[in-house]
Every structure is written in structure tokens, then in C-alpha cells.
Chain A
Amino acid sequence: MTTLLRVSVLISVMALVAGCATPGPSEDSLYQDLGKRAGIAEMVEDLMYRIVEDDRIAFQFKDIDVVQFHTNLTDQLCELSGGPCTYTGRPMTDVHDGMNVTETQFNALAEQLVLAMEDNGISTSAQNRLLERLVELHPQITHR
């Protein structure tokens, strides 16, 4: 009972510190499995190297602000996975507006993301759970 109480107090405090509404232990387990913000940041960095090497999509990213992209994508994946981050970038539809992102390009990016996760030792389970949340964004990103 006391242990339970302590754990719940601890969680509440953590939630407050994190500035999140109620990320219970199960809601942020994906965040944990991705290696928290540091793990996500590393994975996003790998992803960026992969994008540059990928002829199918590199041209789309030619003139981007690399630091801003890294920070914003990291925060987005952190928030999406239940972590204590707040995405401060522009809305997905605005960001990808006018890029005419094709299915081929979306698939290419998804492939590089999976490979980046694999390289970072992220489990199949965590990969699938992140992809489940990311595919929801597909209509906001493609054909705009």
C-alpha cells in the first residue's frame, strides 16, 4: 500500500515536472523503449544522414535548417511516444505544403526511419508502436 502510494506520488510529481497532463506508466512506455529523448535524438540524427544519402528524397531536404529540423522532429517523436516534450514546430500540413510528397517519397522516408531504428537497437515492438502513430500523419504530409 505504501509502496503503491509512493509510486503514484512519484508518478504525479514526474508528470508535473514534465508538464504533461497524465502520461501514466503505460502511456510513456514507448518513450522509454525508444531510449527517451536522448535515444530519439540519436535516431533522428541517423535518419538525417540516411536521408541525405537517399536519392529518392535527398533533394526535398536540400535547403533545410538542419538544427531546427533535428530539434523539431525529435520533439515531435518524443511527444508522440508519450514523452515529456512539446512539439513547437509548424503544423504538419503547413510544413509539407507545396512539397508534393509522393507515396514513393513517403515510403522511402519510412524505410530510412525503420533502418535508423534498427541501427539504434530499437525493438520490433517499439518500432511497430511508433509506426502505428506515425502513419496517422500520412494524409497531412503526402500530396500537398
Chain B
Amino acid sequence: MTHCSNHGAPVLALVAGLTLATPALADPGSRLWATGGVTTIEGSAGGGLVPWALLAGYASDQEWGGTVTLSRAEVDDFTLNVTGAALNWHNRVEVSIARQTLDLDTLGATLGEDELSQDIFGIKARLFGDVLYSDYGQWSLGLQHKRQRDFDIPEAIGADDDQGTDVYLSGSKLFFAAVADRNLLVNATVRGTRANQGGLLGFGGDRNDSYKAMLETSVGLFLNRSWIAGAEYRHKPDNLGFATEDDWWDAFVAWVPDRRVSVTAAWTDLGDIAGLEDQRGLYLSLQGSF
């Protein structure tokens, strides 16, 4: 499986199946529309780049559920494809899996390698609180264990390890009727990480090899219950001497016509990656819930 299109096809079929599903299929769960967020590029529930304290899908305290997601970001010199799936048990624990494939559109020929790839195994537990109903919001603790599938390039540019584990604490709260009587979702995440470019360029490096605490924030405004517009900012470490690493940000619009499906589009700025400057472009994500 070298390209997303290969392993993406069954996921796409599944998403389409869920979208067209008849009432025969159980409802995705009882939490209110869009309160499962969407799926990040690392497979955890959140925005596009930043994990939130919300757990995937719509399972409430007596239910289980999950999501499948297909995402793609096309920036100037790279294309990132992500396929992911997550399960949610009783709105208490989320487990997720994601495969990221970064096509080296420009660098490929020079490096003699046309992609970088990693798998991400995630777990997130809701510690306490509810995003809608608690004054102090909802708080969750998560882990993302990342494993490189081909370490040659990251190793060549100075990365230390081919696997790493991020740990993060997230808080999310919805403020009802906060802006022009619209509901505002606010998220803050602190992540401990050694990952270079999220792990696609390995873990640790010649410039820094230890865990760094990074702040990641996002806000989303519910225009109504099916349209959310917002922005995210993700601080990143800078571990490799070979090329500087920039913070990431995006501005997104998500459409959640129904609990079964969501579509997210974003303008994303990934900064400099592997010496190629100003990597910007469009991000698109399709999620199905069950």
C-alpha cells in the first residue's frame, strides 16, 4: 500500500455507506450535533490539526460509537493523506488509529523516495466535565503512539527515533449564545512531544532530543447547528538542525448536516517543511459516524 487511494477506497466506501444508510443502522449516538468534533490528521477527535477534549462520534454515557475518516491536505510541495478510525465507549474512552502518508511531490526525485508514512495509535480518556453542561468544561487526557513506516529519510536528516509517544491534556468548553447569540467552542491543548513535523520526520533530533510542552488552541463558532467556522493554532518544536520547523495553523469550515456525516474544509499553513518554504494549501476531510 503505497498510496492513500489504495487503502482509502474501502474507507470511502464505508463513509458512503454510512451516509446513505437507512434507519436500519443504529443511530450514531445521543450527544448533540457536532459535539464529537471532527477527526484530526492524527486520528483523535478534534479539529483538523488540534485534538480537543471531545471524544469521537456521538456515544453518550450508555452508548458506544465511532467514526471513520478520510482526509487530504494539498500544500505547495507535499500532499498529506490520512485514513483514520476511532471508537468511543460511553463517552469515556476513545481509541483511534490513523495512517498518514506524505507524498513528497517536489523532493521525491532528489531523495529517491516518493513518500513518508507513519501509523498513529491513540487513546483519549475524558477525565471529567461535559463540554455543554459543565461550568468548567470538559477535560481529557490522551496519548498518541506514532510509528514510522520507513525511517530512511528521517534518519538521514538527523532524527533520533523512528517512534514516539505524544501525551496531551485538553480542555473544551462551549459557551452558549456567546457571539451574536451564536455558540462558541473554545479548546486548549498542552502536548508533550518529541515529534518532528508531527512525527513524519521522526522523533528527537540533533538540535533537541527531549520532550517539549507545546500549546495548541482552537475556536469554532456554530453559525447554526450544522455549520461551524473557526481557526486553530499549533505550536511545534524545532528539533532538527537540517531545517527549521514552523508552527501550524488553519482556518476551517465544517458542515455537519446530520450525525452520520461531516465535511470539513480548511485553509492550512504548515510553514516550512524540510527546507521548502511556506507550505500552504487546502485541507479536506470527510467523516462518517456510526
Contacts and interface: CB of A to CB of B under 8 A. Distances in A.
Contacts of B32: 107, 110-111, 114
Contacts of B225: 114, 124
A102 B224 contact: no
A103 B182 CA distance: 24
Contacts of B30: 56, 103-104, 107-108, 111
Contacts of B130: 103, 138
Contact of A124 (B31, B61, B63, B181): B181
Contacts of B224: 124
Interface of B is mostly: loop
B259 to A, nearest CB: 10
Interface string A101-138: 01110111011001000000000111011011001001
A76 B217 CA distance: 38
B6 interface: no
Interface size class of A (residues with CB under 8 A): 20 to 34
B91 interface: yes
A128 B182 contact: yes
Given A102-B62, A107-B60, A135-B133, A124 B176 contact: no
Interface in B149-192: 176-177, 180-183
Interface in A36-94: 56
Contacts of B91: 103
A107 B34 CA distance: 13
B182 A124 contact: yes
B209 to A, nearest CB: 43
B61 A132 contact: no
Interface in B259-273: none
B135 to A, nearest CB: 9
28 contacts: A102-B60, A103-B30, A103-B60, A103-B61, A103-B62, A103-B130, A104-B30, A104-B60, A104-B61, A104-B62, A106-B133, A107-B30, A107-B32, A108-B30, A111-B30, A114-B225, A124-B181, A124-B182, A125-B177, A125-B181, A126-B181, A128-B177, A129-B176, A129-B177, A131-B177, A132-B177, A135-B132, A138-B130
